[in-house]
Amino acid sequence: MNIATWMLAGGILGWMSYWFLHFNEARGAVLSILIGAVGGFIGGQMIAPLFSTAATTPVYFGATALYFAAAGAVVFLTAGHLIYERWGA
């Protein structure tokens, strides 16, 4: 359940970055949502356990893991936008 929550939070941030901040406009909304979801997964699954123990127990919902998932999504979306602006990829 945590993985779905992290990916949903990342997807929502990806959607918000596309519609409100106009990140990755040339790529489209679907790719922005996917980039955000992947960033949310990476942040919640790999980064959060480094800083807290909440993500290691599968039945416990940790707000700190959700924060790290959101931060991961923001980092991935920003990196994707900067890469596109710099190199057009």
pLDDT range class, residue 6, cuts 50, 70, 90? very high
Place of tokens 């700190």: 64
What's the mean pLDDT when you consider all of the chain?
A: 86
pLDDT tens, residue by residue, 44-75: 888 888 887 554 555 566 788 889 999 999 99
pLDDT tens digits along 10-27: 999 999 999 998 877 778
**Rounded Cα gap, residues 36 and 48, in angstroms:** 16
Could you say which DSSP state residue 61 is in?
A: -
HEC per residue, 20-49? CCCCCCCCCHHHHHHHHHHHHHHHHHHHHH
